[in-house]
Copies of this chain bind each other. A is one copy, B any other.
Amino acid sequence: MNLHIRVFTIGALAKAAGVTTPTIRYYEEIGLLPPAQRTAGGQRSYDHDDLGRLTFIKQCRDFGFSIDQVRVLLNLSISTSRDCVETRDIAQQHLDEVRHKLAELRLLERRLESFVTRCNVSCAGGPGQDCVIFKDMATPAKSGCCG
């Protein structure tokens, strides 16, 4: 079966890869995807290679890689000469960022939780003005609640 014979319209490709059609045009515009083949009438058409490339992009984006990182990864993914270690390093760097973000969010969770609890205990139902949340918010962080 010759995979290059089966072509997709932009809509079909979008559905197959799980993105929207404007996103595909956008990726073409910024050079993540090469200029698409066109039908006689001027509409874009795609083959399985295009689907592979777009899927790759989509997955990378889902992993939280930036467009610029994806650009680098795409270049690495077709390179025979450059080292696979570069790829791992980009992933490792991103992993570090994710872990940093995780730590921040965990702290944030505790602080929000403390807000909600304290509001429930000490002022729920009172006038908005007097809510403990506002008293905390209007003065710079003294890290009173949960370290």
Contact = CB atoms under 8 A, between A and B. Distances in A.
A77 B128 contact: yes
Contact of A113 (B64, B95, B120, B130): B95
Contacts of A78: 128-129
Interface in A43-75: 52-53, 55-56, 59-60, 62-64, 73
A94 interface: yes
Interface in A89-143: 91-92, 94-95, 98-99, 101-102, 105-106, 108-109, 111-113, 115-116, 119-120, 123-131, 133-134, 136-141
Contact of A64 (B83, B108, B128): B108
A88 interface: yes
A61 to B, nearest CB: 10
Given A63-B112, A83-B125, A95-B109, 13 more contacts: A18-B140, A53-B138, A64-B108, A78-B129, A80-B128, A83-B126, A85-B125, A88-B131, A91-B112, A95-B113, A98-B109, A102-B102, A102-B105
